Structure 1
Amino acid sequence: MIYEPIHQTLLNLINAAVLPAWAMLILAPRWRWTDRLVHSGLYPVALGLAYLGFMICALIWGTNDAPVDFTTIDGIAAIFSHPFGLLTAWVHYLVFDLFVGMWEARDARRNGMNHFLLVPCLLLTFMAGPVGLLLYFILRRKWAITGD
């Protein structure tokens, strides 16, 4: 499938938009701007608006000729076969991974967990969402038991 340059530009903008939030969570967890920009919910709201926009575009210009069907592999593949369907799905991943990373950071701070233990969790949550969350739960459990 050939994508229009606008689709690549939109993907680049969305990818670039989340990087500052992740950098603040990892490198400046106690900076006041991290709280103001990231923990305020600004990022998920802004990305949620992008998600809504991409979803509307997918509905207007169509995902393909097949009906939307979330119960089959072919149905799900059909949804993602249109550039706006694919962008919508990608923003979905970015929003939820960032939201999980935000929660991990707040929860770790609340529980007094060493930030250096949290960093690998955040990096994995950014790159492979559920794996980072799994590692966080493992470390969180160990931290609660031993306190170190």
Structure 2
Amino acid sequence: MFELLFSLASIGIVVWLLMIVLPTWRVTRFIADLKIFPIYLSILYIVGIITVIFMNGIGFMQYFSSATGVIQLLSEPNFALLVWIHLLCFDLFVGHFIYQENLEYRFIPLPLQSIILFLTLMFGPLGLLTYVVLRKARNREGS
């Protein structure tokens, strides 16, 4: 079942490609405004986590308190796939934030936005931090 959830989550790449390659296209804006894909990924994650809890209880949470425990959890394939969906969901949410805020306020040029969205897709926090730093620098210039 977790491989099916993983496969279903893979469609999120379409939104990333639209935001990166066609940021001003009205279809891209429409899809981003709906936030349908972060919601969709959230639903997939919820289905997965409820399945984990139903099958195993909440005892897995005890493993979150140590690096060894987290490694042990991530070595279990179904849990690793679920964590991947978790990451996809949050990265896409952050990507939506960057995309929508920058289209509204134009803190950075669109080609740079595309690079930052790619960084966010591939390296999550690096893309977010890059955007926040550049946005802050731009705000200082405008003051």
Q: Using structure 2 for the length normalisation, give the TM-score.
A: 0.83
- CA spacing shift, 1:29–1:67, aligned 2, 3 Å: closer
- CA spacing shift, 1:60–1:83, aligned 2, 3 Å: farther
Which residue does 2:131 correspond to in 1? 136
1:100 partnered with 2:88: no
Count of residue correspondences: 140
3-state SS in 1 of match to 2:24: coil
Identity %: 29
Give the superposition deviation at 1:66. Answer: 6.5
Q: 2:74 aligns with which of 68, 76, 80?
A: 80
CA RMSD, aligned part only? 2.3
Structure with the larger RCO, 1 or 2 (CA within 8 Å, 6+ apart): 2
Which residue does 1:58 correspond to in 2? 52
Which residue does 2:26 correspond to in 1? 32
3-state SS in 2 of match to 1:92: helix
Deviations 1:86-135 (A, max 9, x none): 12211111011111111111111222231012111100000000001111
Contiguous gaps of at least 5 residues in structure 2: none
1:141, 1:67 → 2: CA distance?
37
Give the superposition deviation at 1:7. Answer: 4.5
Q: Greater share of helix residues, 1 or 2? A: 2
Q: Using structure 1 for the length normalisation, give the TM-score.
A: 0.81
